[in-house]
Amino acid sequence: MKESRKLITIVALSLSAIAPSSADQYNLFQKLPLIAGAYTNLNPEYKHILRGREDETIWGYDDYNGPDKWAELDSNFYLCSEGMEQSPIDIDPMTAIPKDLSDIGFFYQPTSVHIFNNGRTIELEYDPGSFIEIENIDYELHQFHFHSHSEHTLALGARFDMEMHLVHLSIDPDSDTPVAVVTVFIREGEENQILKRVWQHLPIHEGNEFYLPFSLNIGDALPTHRRTYRYKGSFTTPPCTEGVQWVVLKQPIEMSREQIEKFRKILNHSCCANNYRPIQKINGRQIFFDTTQEGLPE
């Protein structure tokens, strides 16, 4: 999504998105100048979130261009092999540090969504005006996408069927964690009614892109209880930039076997059998478990 398009449309979309019931909780009007400044001053290392389709280096998940080769494909990808705070990681609930963390506020709005098959996943670009708040820092949702199987694992390697990443940018360009990614585990179970309509329009071929013919509030797909694991890490894809605040929701959501297999068939046709990065070393990092977040929807 082009920065110019986001800056032009953000005011109109924010005005239309705010309902009286949410205005007292979260005043987007006051944040518009900060948002514009964040886009203007955004570190180039993070701009591929906005312009993900302009990646000139062909990387992927096969033997010749997969995670073990990323650092060799482009000198800008050096962190993929040299970084000390890389993601994903294995989260051991028995050793995660219990901590009273501030609640995460989810302020997602229904919006038009642009869906894109980039050859490595299905990415859905969100229009401006939806946020999360972590420890008094506001992050705007830019896009969400899917991995199969899950990238993060629990309890010494237990892997879920899929994982959804909701990628947010801080409206404060000076934040030491400019990016926050909310992770939602997906396991096989009941058909997911919220994502059902999205799945009916998944672009099959690489390069296919269009707007979904309906509005979507991805917040409706989040689990009811939102206790989290949190740690500092990196992008799980090149250039593997660090400084990412990871928020891993403990409670998974469900999708049917048919829904999971449909995504995997599209992935296999466009890219590869799986699109997850192997587990990275923790290197002494602390993984916290939120003991206060009750996870009730806002």
| Cα–Cα distance for residue pair 244/177, rounded to 1 Å | 5
Report the relative pairing of strands 90-91 and 153-154 from DSSP bridges. Answer: parallel
How many H helices and E strands in the chain? 7, 16
Phi and psi at 104, nearest 5°, equal -95, 125
Which pTM does this prediction carry? 0.84
3-state secondary structure (DSSP) of residue 222: coil
pLDDT in tens, 96-146: 999 988 888 999 999 999 999 999 999 999 999 999 999 889 999 999 999
The mean pLDDT value of the chain amounts to 84
Q: How confident is the model at residue 24 (pLDDT cuts 50, 70, 90)?
A: very low
* Spatial contact of 140 and 168, defined as CB atoms under 8 Å apart: yes
* 218-263 pLDDT per residue, tens: 999 999 988 999 999 999 999 999 999 999 999 999 999 999 999 9
Nearest to 182 by CA among 227, 117, 237: 227
d(CA 115, CA 122): 7
């030491």: which residue's tokens? 176
In the chain, the domains with their CATH numbers are 3-290 (3.10.200.10)
Instruction: Determine the Cα–Cα distance for residues 234 and 55; give it in Å rounded to an integer.
Output: 18
The pLDDT tens digits of the residues spanning 132-176 come to 999 889 999 999 999 999 999 998 889 999 999 999 999 887 888
**What percent of the chain is predicted at pLDDT more than 70?**
79
Contact 128, 50 (CB under 8 A): no
Distance CA 229, CA 272 (A): 29
